[in-house]
Amino acid sequence: MKNIKNIIFDYGNVIFSIDFVRAQQAWTALGISNSDDFFGHLKQDTIFDAFDRGEISAAAFRDRIRELSGNNTITDEQINTAWNSMLLGIADGNHELLLKLKDKYRTFLLSNINAIHYDHIMDYLKTDFGFDGNDHLFEKTYYSHFTGKRKPERAIFEQVLQENGLDPEETLFIDDSPQHLEGAKALGIQTFLMTAPDTIQAYFNRNGLL
């Protein structure tokens, strides 16, 4: 990585640990038979894309889950619990690292997220860390359901670059999904694919970027 002045972070499995298998198991338990195809790391039903963009409400999302499961008696709470089961939490030291990086670089958060996950994570940050969201950790945060755009769409990367006057050649984007990196690469942004068991703490230490 050369001449890095700006860093754009993905959230899930970069800062906040998630487990796609847990979500698949939870959908199966609710009666969705093809859970592997329904929701996964590399592909998912279009209902999730629409939810990520804020094109449908949480209520509409839950109604779709009931329809797909063939069970209209599933409660909102059961669906929320199933959907949030993949959200594990934040590793010790990640918040401290982000604050340290913010002093040295212009840092941004770019997350594909939806209303149910967003509310759950905001509650978690407040309960476990006393944080009112992630805003203090970055210069600016971008959540897909507020922007109406999601990775890997070119438009969301263009928005981050243009709104903040970032030179793509001086910008690093870190994400755990290879398909998302392609959208950034198309604009000349430097990228790194985060793959378990690697961590952002290990990455920045070994590359001398602290």
In the numeric block, which tokens belong to residue 3? Answer: 């001449």
Which domain does 143 fall in, by range?
Answer: 6-18+89-206
Last residue of a domain, one of 40, 61, 84: 84
Q: For each of the chain's 210 residues, which pLDDT tens digit applies?
A: 679 999 999 999 999 999 988 988 999 999 987 776 788 665 678 899 999 999 999 999 999 999 988 899 999 999 999 999 999 999 999 999 999 999 999 999 999 999 999 999 999 999 999 999 999 999 999 999 999 999 999 999 999 999 999 999 999 999 999 999 999 999 999 999 999 999 999 999 999 888
Last residue of a domain, one of 84, 99, 124: 84
Last residue of a domain, one of 54, 84, 114: 84
Single pTM value for the model: 0.94
Same-domain check for residues 102 and 60: no
Same-domain check for residues 69 and 39: yes
Same-domain check for residues 120 and 170: yes
**Domain annotation covers residue 1:** no
Looking at the 3D structure of the chain, how many domains does it have? 2
Same-domain check for residues 97 and 200: yes
77: left (phi over 0), alpha (psi -120 to 50) or beta: alpha
